[in-house]
Amino acid sequence: PPPKSATASTAASDRAEIERLVVTEMEGARDHDIDKTMSVYAPGDELVLFDAAPGVFKGYDAMKAAYLKYFAMFPGRPVTEIQDLTIGVSGDLAFAHSIQKWDFQKPDGTVLKTMHRVTNVFRRIDGKWLCVHEHASVPVNLFKEEGGQ
């Protein structure tokens, strides 16, 4: 086995790469840059998104179509923030979960303020970390009579 310091260094490097991917996806979506956004996702049919939109999107092409629809729905540049990012890595699998603030500008100029709980699963494919699963949800208070956040 590799020396313990090398293993710790690799784990830190993997966590830094996963963090970079989470940030890259958010920046790409914020900037309506489809190539940057999609660069973090695995190609083909392995990719699955459970979205807050709502919907289930299976495959790279379906995910790309969902992002392009979002870009059209919210033409302005949203205010974004990642909070409480947690990353775990084990071998060729990793996860990240966070709270993400997205303040979307609607076509009429009004702002839709949202908080999303986002979990990503990454797999190292041919030496490169890529997202193979994403789950995004919006908190709902089931104990409040009228629902809502």
Per-residue pLDDT tens over the stretch 23-64: 999 999 999 999 999 999 999 999 999 987 778 999 999 999
pLDDT of residue 5: 54
pLDDT of residue 26: 95
pLDDT of residue 143: 78
Indicate the burial class of 3 (C-beta count within 10 angstroms; 0-12, 13-18, 19 or more).
exposed
pLDDT of residue 52: 78
Q: In whole angstroms, give the CA distance from residue 104 to residue 30.
A: 9
pLDDT of residue 145: 61
Pair 135, 119: CB distance under 8 Å: yes
Residue ranges in the chain modelled with pLDDT below 50: none
Would you tell me how many other CB atoms lie within 10 Å of the CB of residue 56?
11
Q: In whole angstroms, give the CA distance from residue 73 to residue 53.
A: 12
pLDDT of residue 2: 55
Q: In whole angstroms, give the CA distance from residue 40 to residue 35.
A: 9
Nearest Cα to Cα of residue 119 among 88, 89, 93, 97 = 97
Distances (CA, A) of 19 to 10, 82, 120, 121, 145: 14, 10, 11, 12, 38
Q: What does the mean pLDDT of the chain come to? A: 90
